[in-house]
Structure 1
């Protein structure tokens, strides 16, 4: 059509603008989650750690500081219209990560495996029913 309309396409081939915006926001949040949970690979292992695990090593302040980016992901999920039940599950993930992560040594080991931010991105992707490449959280 000369007017640039896409009405000639079947409806299933048209992504709604809000879906495109949500997908772009989810990509940005996934980038943040990956930096926090899986930014680096430990040499000689398949284990990935992120800034959450690294700053969590600082006694007292580390685990509290790591809650900031996690809270931001939940806040953005709220703005994207995610149901309260999903927001609550995301909050529980962050709470578990913070509570157990606060325990010296045990918490640091737990942080490496739990990856609350990546779990929350997986919840977001499922809730928003957006196409998924590969899951953010690694299979254990």
Structure 2
């Protein structure tokens, strides 16, 4: 007989932003952007970097995976009903970042300064603030 799967304390299903409601999507997108762009600080230059930068150090496959993760943000934006023009612009940012990533050293430098995921998140948050104002959170 199989044992039931239980979640660790403090990680209840209610705490995970898995819902389709705009508030859950907002929390999930912010967490993904933080993972991709702001996981840790590089000492010396004091710049926040994340998984996008780390994956960019792996030739081709790392850039492809980083682009796929950035594409997930665009997919979530599509599910929120954002306009095709916005989705096209966001896809262009992810594609531009992926193309730059194919060029050795240039792509790594671009990940430090051209934060396509942060730019896309800002666009999505503006959409959420306009069309789902109840999801706005005040950080204090």
Bigger Rg, which one: 1
CA distance in 2 between partners of 1:106 and 1:45 (Å): 17
Counterpart in the other structure of 2:63: 63
Q: TM-score with structure 1 length normalisation?
A: 0.75
CA RMSD between the two structures: 1.8
- Can you give the 5+ residue segments of structure 2 that lack an aligned partner in the other structure? 1-19
Counterpart in the other structure of 1:39: 39
Q: Where do 1:96-135 residues align within 5 Å?
A: 96-128=96-128, 129=130, 130=133, 131=136
SS at match of 1:104: coil
Deviations 1:13-56 (A, max 9, x none): xxxxxxx9213211211110111111111124320111110011
Is contact 1:38-1:49 (8 Å) kept? yes
Deviations 1:51-78 (A, max 9, x none): 1100110112110111111111111111
- Paired residues in the alignment total 115
CA distance in 2 between partners of 1:127 and 1:102 (Å): 31
CA distance in 2 between partners of 1:82 and 1:23 (Å): 16
Runs of 4+ in 1 over 3 A off after TM superposition: 130-134
Counterpart in the other structure of 2:51: 51
- Can you give the 5+ residue segments of structure 1 that lack an aligned partner in the other structure? 1-19, 135-140
Counterpart in the other structure of 1:82: 82
Counterpart in the other structure of 2:93: 93
Of stretches 96-105 and 121-130 in structure 1, the one that deviates more from structure 2 is: 121-130
